[in-house]
């Protein structure tokens, strides 16, 4: 009789463990997708490699550190840096979102 209950307890424990693991995995994936999605909007102008279009006026951004990128994004948002598109785009993001973008795209030191 004890073996009968032990099997049920083990199966239940395994299912609970799997459900929590998969929930955590989904949450991490959703967060990663959100961060990547924010950064992916930059690819529209700067390309997926961050090289931009030099003759087209889209600057190279893949050489910036995360800190440098965040500084520029905040400068565009505040109006300290002028531009045609970037000031408008930067104003549409919260400071937290700009930090996420900079951390996703900028070089790590």
| pLDDT (tens digit per residue) in 70-102 | 999 999 999 999 999 999 999 999 999 999 999
- Which of residues 35 and 57 earns the better pLDDT score? 35
- pLDDT of 65 above 60: yes
Q: Residues of 63-78 as b/e, b for ≥16 C-beta within 10 angstroms? A: ebebeebbebbbbbbe
Domain residue limits, the chain: 46-108
For the chain, the distance separating the N- and C-terminal CA atoms, rounded to the nearest angstrom, is 61
> Which CATH class, in words, describes the domain spanning 46-108?
mainly alpha
pLDDT bucket at 59, cuts 50 / 70 / 90: confident
Q: What is the DSSP string of 29-88?
A: HHHHHHHHHHHHTTHHHH-TTS--BGGGTB---TT-BHHHHHHHHHHHHHTSS--SSHHH
pTM for the whole thing?
A: 0.72
Which pLDDT score is estimated for 15?
Answer: 60
- pLDDT of 12 above 70: no
């Amino acid at each position: 009789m004890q073996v009968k209950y032990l099997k049920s307890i083990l199966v239940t424990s395994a299912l609970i463990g799997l459900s929590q693991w998969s929930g955590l995995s989904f949450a991490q994936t959703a967060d990663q997708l959100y961060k990547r999605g924010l950064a992916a909007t930059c690819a529209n102008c700067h390309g997926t490699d961050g090289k931009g279009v030099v003759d087209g006026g889209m600057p190279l951004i893949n050489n910036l550190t995360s800190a440098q990128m965040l500084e520029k994004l905040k400068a565009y948002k505040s109006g300290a840096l002028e531009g045609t598109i970037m000031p408008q785009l930067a104003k549409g993001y919260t400071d937290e979102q700009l930090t996420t973008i900079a951390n996703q795209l900028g070089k790590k030191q």
